[in-house]
Structure 1
């Protein structure tokens, strides 16, 4: 007589599910991004994400935990093109401070110009605008990945505030150009936008 298989605890994913590996995790993240994009943070549920991904909700909890943690993972994945490879960020942050405003502006708006990276970013920004929890996650990731590194290089008072003001300038332009689509800003050539915005960003970062 063979031993009976151990009973699975309530709410825990099966061994087969957890062994599905990275492909299943990626499928859940893709489903999460679609759900947050279509429904926003408040109306999205772990159960809905699981249904969209074709898995049990226990598996979503197994990989990510709470809905907030699922959202954070989805944001981080969506922001990966925006944050860029480590060497890209190094080039922006560690180059001469006299040109950091233009480098940062050109990089940030260039990401929004790319439809592949713009689509998930739009979903994230819309959720962040309408929900405090989503906004907190977005701020935390942006601060950790980019702003603190720039602030650490500024030889000036209120370095973190300066970096945040620069970010506010860039996010504001992105909102008007890509989300709200205010004319003529929405249609003007990117080079004109960079030419107008970069000196302001530079001023926030390095002016006395």
Structure 2
């Protein structure tokens, strides 16, 4: 196996291509840092150098502009009766931010049109959000995925399809409308 190669940007991209392929073929549990490194033609230490943990490689391969532990912490930390509002405000902030909105838009379009990306997204949600939140809040996974479906539906209607009047409603109006629905899923 090769060690460090010239061209940091290309090496990083080669690792991401290999990671997408490995996660797509073997799933999150079956993919390994060694397998990703072997496919990219680099030493596993270089994968760790660029990305850190397997989870971080996975997030980078999906190009998700939010740290999944941030999302899980947001849901599980703080008053339980305010989870719905926290989630809606986070989603609205991410989707309206110039730094993250285009990435989310590209991700949603990719998930809808590419089974490999859809599979990676399912695994991402399972391992970084659904599982940890379900365990932390002692709620069935079905409830967590129901809440995720509501949040993704909101994003699709407001930002992708741009259904009116939802698309032009203020954030506070959307929070008032959607937060109670999301809150339902987190009731003990």
TM-score (norm 2): 0.68
Aligned to 1:62: 41
- Are 2:146 and 2:185, in contact at CA under 8 Å, matched by a contact in 1? yes
In structure 2, C-alpha distance between the alignment counterparts of 1:160 and 1:107, rounded to whole Å: 21
Q: Which runs of 5+ in 2 are unaligned?
A: 18-38, 48-57
In structure 2, C-alpha distance between the alignment counterparts of 1:87 and 1:170, rounded to whole Å: 16
In structure 2, C-alpha distance between the alignment counterparts of 1:154 and 1:199, rounded to whole Å: 18
Q: Which runs of 5+ in 1 are unaligned?
A: 1-11, 33-59, 65-71
Matches within 5 A, 1:21-170: 22-26=8-12, 61-62=40-41, 74-76=60-62, 78-79=63-64, 81-83=65-67, 86=69, 89-156=72-139, 159-170=140-151
In structure 2, C-alpha distance between the alignment counterparts of 1:116 and 1:100, rounded to whole Å: 24
In structure 1, C-alpha distance between the alignment counterparts of 2:8 and 2:76, rounded to whole Å: 32
In structure 2, C-alpha distance between the alignment counterparts of 1:111 and 1:29, rounded to whole Å: 27
Does residue 20 of structure 1 match 2:3?
no
Shift, 1:189, TM fit? 0.8
Between Structure 1 and Structure 2, how many residues are aligned?
155
TM-score (norm 1): 0.62
Deviations 1:28-68 (A, max 9, x none): 689x7xxxxxxxxxxxxxxxxxxxxxxxxxxx84369xxxx
RMSD: 3.1
Shift, 1:98, TM fit? 1.4
Q: Secondary structure at the residue paired with 1:145?
A: helix
Larger Cα-atom Rg? 1
Shift, 1:181, TM fit? 1.0
